[in-house]
Amino acid sequence: MATLQISSLTLEVANRTLCRDLNVQIQPNESWCLLGRNGAGKTTLLHSLIKQRVIDEGSVLLDGKNIADLKQRELARKIGILFQQGIEALPATVFETVMLGRHPHLQSLLLDNEKDIEIAEQALAIFELGSLKERPVDTLSGGELQRLALALLLAQTPEIFLLDEPSNHLDVAFQIKLLTVLTDKVREASASLIMATHDINLASRFCDNIILLLEGGEALVGKCSDVLTEENLSKAYGCPIQSVYSGEHRLFYPA
Amino acid sequence: MIFNKQILLLTSLLIFAAASILFSLLSGSVDITLAEIAGSILSSESNLNSQVLQEIRIPRTLAAFVTGGLLALSGAIMQVLLRNPLADPYILGISGGAAVGALSAILLGASGFWLSNAAFAGALLSIFLVFGIANQFGDWSVTRLLLTGVVVSAGWGAVINILLTTSSTNNVQSMLFWLMGDLSQSRVNLAHYLLLIVGLAGGLLLSRSLNVLIRGELLAVSLGVNVQALRLLLFFSASVFTATAVTIAGSVGFVGLIIPHMLRLLGARDHRLLIPSCILLGGSFLVIADSLARTIVAPQQLPVGVVTAVIGVPAFILILRSTIRK
């Protein structure tokens, strides 16, 4: 399984520094959350990891190789991403869409091979979309589209899962259920996960490690148990945040 | 996975293509029977009817098929490249440039070879002009390309109008025929067939990437498509297909816009199916339109571009309606 090494990474947008000299090492089996205010650079950071955005300074190494030197296709076999925007509702079927996840792996030119079909169907089944297989994507609800996007990502079988706001369009029950299913699959595959979210509680529930982006390009990196404190969060979000314990879960809320 | 539906569609389109070619060979002012067609193709005996076939109808039919195939293929590619359902082979100004070349040639009294070359030169000029402007700062986006194409196209439109309004009545007649698309002088050669075959093979090779790209740039990047390189390839290949089609037959409208949409509505959204289907249906459609163009008001001929619209509009509306009802 793949190791991702972010070294001295600097990202700038319109002369504003989003992160400066960021160093993170993401090992197999690790789950990371990426927190920060609106515009702090969560999405930009995720996009830079799949070369959708140029890196201003520093480097990202995937298993020791600079991603700048990797072909997009090689990268896509190792790193998959769930976009914040989800999947566009176009007139294609659910099955055609989830099969796109196999694109980085497809070997045969015209016909789909059995193995790819099987992986795609499993991914649909895991997100309870099996019965919607032949439905046009433009007839799905927001929640169904989000599940389809997750199924597509799972069908891609990456070794590193990047999730940008995975709880978008999902009700509370589905947020917990789908993220549980997904994180189980990630763990089963000994893959790793980086999840950008606005939901501190969801992050602390599903992730062990954290990158907390602060104003001015600083970032706190470490274990959730060390970094997720009232003080750090209040500083990051620029508003007082407190916490209470409820059983095993620690819940954060704006004061 | 069974590909019954796909095979059914491709088989029907193949039969339709054969039928349209036969229909075209049978229509015209001289009555020619099926037996004579077979005789003319199989034996080398020469009589009037076989001469009509060999020298007029067969070349013209093949020219119509190749042109229609290239236009539909180019339209399908442009629609993916620009991710815009209104995109057609002419949207980026290629036909405008070709038209200015062709009309200038007519104005100078040229025809045949020189007319074709002038049209092709105009098309190439337009391709590089549009790409050059869109790419001025080293990076180009689809929106820039589309805007540049539309603006350059409008510029060509103005030049075309100047040429039309300042020309003699005689020239205007030939100019209008060229502008609406006309196959009466059209001939295709080996290079044209090769281009169509290259288009088919290349389109099939890229079909999976096209399937991904049409779903959005971000998704395509994340699934391993080198989006910028693919787009460059799509732009130049679709441009060359369009330039070639326009050189053969003038700016035949409608085929490139409507055939890909019709096929998508019929269920051929996957480019592995859409690309070959476009070539078959685009070719057949133009063959039929041209047969009608030269027979409806015989001995007069209509510009084929008029006929493509006259059949294309109702056919498209019918398909649109029937798919909405489902």
- Which pLDDT score, from 0 to 100, does residue B118 have? 93
Angstrom CA distances, A216 to A9, A15, A208, B78, B180, stand at 14, 11, 25, 43, 61
Query: What DSSP designation does A103 have?
Result: T
Phi and psi based region of residue A212 (left: phi greater than 0; alpha: psi -120 to 50; beta: remaining) = beta
Label residue B67 by pLDDT band (50, 70, 90): very high
* Predicted complex ipTM: 0.92
Q: CB–CB of A76 and B222 under 8 A?
A: yes
Quick: pLDDT tens for B115-125.
Answer: 889 999 999 99
DSSP state of A157: -
Nearest to B101 by CA among B117, B122, B115: B122
pLDDT at B1: 44
Cβ pair A91:B264 closer than 8 A: yes
- Confidence category of residue B52, pLDDT binned at 50, 70, 90: confident
Three-state SS string over chain B comes to CCCHHHHHHHHHHHHHHHHHHHHHHHCCCCCCCHHHHHHHHHCCCCCHHHHHHHHHHHHHHHHHHHHHHHHHHHHHHHHHHHCCCCCCCCCCCHHHHHHHHHHHHHHCCCCCHHHHHHHHHHHHHHHHHHHHHHCCCCCCCHHHHHHHHHHHHHHHHHHHHHHHHCCCHHHHHHHHHHHHCCCCCCCCCHHHHHHHHHHHHHHHHHHHHHHHHCCCHHHHHHCCCCHHHHHHHHHHHHHHHHHHHHHHHCCCCCHHHHHHHHHHHCCCCCHHHHHHHHHHHHHHHHHHHHHHHHHCCCCCCCCHHHHHHHHHHHHHHHHHHHHHHC
Mean pLDDT, rounded, for B171-185: 88
CB-CB neighbors (< 8 A) of B222 in chain A: 50, 52, 76, 80-81, 83
CA dist., res. A121 & res. A226, Å (int)? 40
Closest CB to B226 among A72, A81, A92: A72
A104 → closest Cβ in B207, B224, B269: B224
pLDDT > 80? residue B317: yes
Note down the domain range covering A183. 4-254
B chain contacts of residue A97, beta-carbon cutoff 8 Å? 215
Looking at residue B3, its pLDDT comes to 61
CB burial string A212-250: b at 16+ within 10 A, e below: bbbeebebbbeebeebbbeebbbbbbeeebebeeeeeeb
CA distance B118 to B193: 21
Q: How many Å lie between the alpha carbon of B61 and the closest alpha carbon of chain A?
A: 30
Q: How far apart are CA A18 and CA A216, in angstroms?
A: 7
Query: pLDDT above 90 covers what percent of chain A?
Result: 80
pLDDT of residue A214: 93
pLDDT of amino acid B139: 73
Residue type for position A1: M
Q: What digits encode the pLDDT tens for the residues A89-130?
A: 888 899 999 999 999 997 677 888 899 999 999 999 999 999
Secondary structure element (H or E) that encloses residue A244, with its range: strand A241-246
Distance from the Cα of B95 to chain A's closest Cα (Å) equals 30
Statement: residue B185 has pLDDT above 90: no
CB-based contact A103 B208, cutoff 8 Å: yes
% of residues, chain A, pLDDT over 70: 100
**Tokens coding A164:** 């940008």
Q: Give pTM, 2 decimals.
A: 0.92
Structure tokens at B61: 């039919």
Burial of B303 (0-12, 13-18, 19+ CB in 10 A): buried
Residue with structure tokens 């047969």?
Answer: B291
Return the structure tokens found at B105: 């040639």
* Tokens 């169907």 sit on residue: A121
Residues of B in Cβ contact (< 8 Å) with A91: 264, 269
Domains and CATH numbers, chain B: 4-325 (1.10.3470.10)
Measured distance CA(A193)–CA(A158) in Å, rounded: 10
pLDDT over 60 (residue B39): yes
Tell me the mean pLDDT in the region B250-278.
92
List the single residue in A with minimal CA-CA distance to B264. A91
Structure tokens at A146: 């989000």
- Is the predicted pLDDT of residue B293 greater than 70, yes or no? yes
pLDDT class of A131 with cuts at 50, 70, 90? very high
**What angle (nearest 5°) sits at the alpha carbon of residue B227, between those of residues B222 and B230?**
140
Hey, what amino acid is at B187? R
pLDDT of B324 reads: 65
For chain B, what percent of residues have pLDDT higher than 90? 61
Task: Return d(Cα B248, Cα A24) in angstroms, integer.
Answer: 60
Q: What is the mean pLDDT of residues A9-35?
A: 93
| Type of residue at A218 | E
Q: What is the CATH number of the domain that holds A86?
A: 3.40.50.300
- Supply B258's token pair: 């409507």
Side by side, the strands of the sheet bearing A79-82 are A79-82, A160-164, A192-196, A31-35, A209-213, A219-223
User: Is residue B323's pLDDT more than 80?
Assistant: no
Residue with more model confidence, B110 or B240: B240
Nearest CB to B1 within list A80, A109, A112: A112
Evaluated on CA atoms A176, A179, A185, A189, the torsion sign reads negative
| SS3 assignment, position A49 | helix
Q: In a 3-state reduction of DSSP, which class is residue A207?
A: coil
Q: How far apart are CA A123 and CA A127, in angstroms?
A: 7
Choose between B318 and A200: higher pLDDT.
Answer: A200
- Cα–Cα distance between A91 and B255 in angstroms, integer? 22
**Averaged pLDDT of chain B:** 90
The reply to whether residue B218 touches residue A100, judged by beta carbons under 8 angstroms, is no
Name which of A72, A80, A111 is nearest B225 (Cβ-Cβ).
A72
Is the pLDDT reported for residue B2 higher than 80?
no
Other residues' Cβ atoms within 10 Å of the Cβ of residue A64: 7
Domain count across chain A: 1
Between CA B186 and CA B69 the distance in angstroms is 15
Chosen from A84, A87, A99, A103 to mutate, greatest number of chain B CBs within 10 A: A103
- pLDDT digit string, tens, across residues B73-108: 999 999 999 988 888 999 999 999 999 999 999 999
Distance from CA of A84 to the nearest CA of B (A): 11
Q: How far is B141 from chain A (nearest CA, A)?
A: 14
Is the per-residue pLDDT at A82 higher than 90?
yes
Mean pLDDT of chain A: 93
* Closest chain B residue by Cα to residue A112: B1
- Beta-bridged to residue A80, according to DSSP, are A161
Tell which B residues from 183 to 222 touch A, by Cβ distance under 8 Å: 204-205, 207-209, 211-212, 214-216, 218-219, 221-222
